[in-house]
Homo-oligomer: A and B are copies of this chain.
Amino acid sequence: MARRKKYKFPKTTIERLSYYFRALEDLSKRGIDTVSSEALGGKLNIKSSQIRKDLSYFGDFGKRGMGYDVKYLLKELKYILGLDREWSVVIVGAGHIGAAMANYDSFEKRGFNIAAIFDNDEKKIGKEINGTPILPYDNIDDFVKQNKIEMAIIAVPAAAAQAVADKLVESGVTAILNFAPVAVQLDENVRCLSVDLTTKLEALAYYMSYSQDKLWKIYS
């Protein structure tokens, strides 16, 4: 809270802060100490005024005439985004998506600690993915409670998603990243974001259909 200047800002701002964070990491790695909103925007295809406004919701991080100190802004964004701590996460569904997520080491680097993967397939239980054990789905309740898991990734078939979500929430999970193509119904104090890959492809198909005659570009 401390860092928030205004109480109201676009939902999209948070997403962009994450982009800024990553771009700044990259700059930092390349030994760049300072960046202007203009330069950062160029990297990300985002207007400089948008960046300045986004940041202004949280504080005054830049120096007029100079731009932003990369390391300092990184530290601030880390704090704002809640990345200055560890998050304990479980994955439900040890299928293709679950495995991809479990294998992605950058999550650990960012502080997302994948504590376990749960599945109800006997053949998968007992194995592990990238060092993370696959446990029986029936034990998920105890595990979440005992390990104070706050976040979960749902990577089970659509038909099972709502039941899994309910169980997770009942056990204490309050944030969910959902890959199943259904709108999960949840209590309003549970944060849930969905990733819908089919929809992305279909949106591309739409744009393709109309890009041929270029009308979308003229009229959208």
Q: Are the C-beta atoms of A198 and B22 separated by less than 8 Å?
A: yes
Determine chain A's interface SS by DSSP, over half rule.
helix
A205-B22 in contact given A96-B103, A197-B101, A199-B15 (Cβ < 8 Å): no
Contact flags (1/0) for A5-46 with B, using CB distance below 8 Å?
001110100110111011000000000000000000001110
Number of interface residues of A (CB under 8 A): 70
User: Given the interface contacts A1-B215, A19-B199, A181-B22, does A14 sit within 8 Å of B206 by beta carbon?
Assistant: yes
Q: In the assembled complex, how far is the CB of residue A101 from the closest CB belonging to chain B, in whole angstroms?
A: 7
Instruction: List residues of chain A with CB under 8 Å of any chain B CB.
Output: 1, 7-9, 11, 14-15, 17-19, 21-22, 43-45, 80-83, 87, 89, 96-97, 99-101, 103-104, 106-107, 110-112, 150-151, 174-177, 181, 183, 185, 188-189, 191, 193, 195-211, 213-215, 217-220
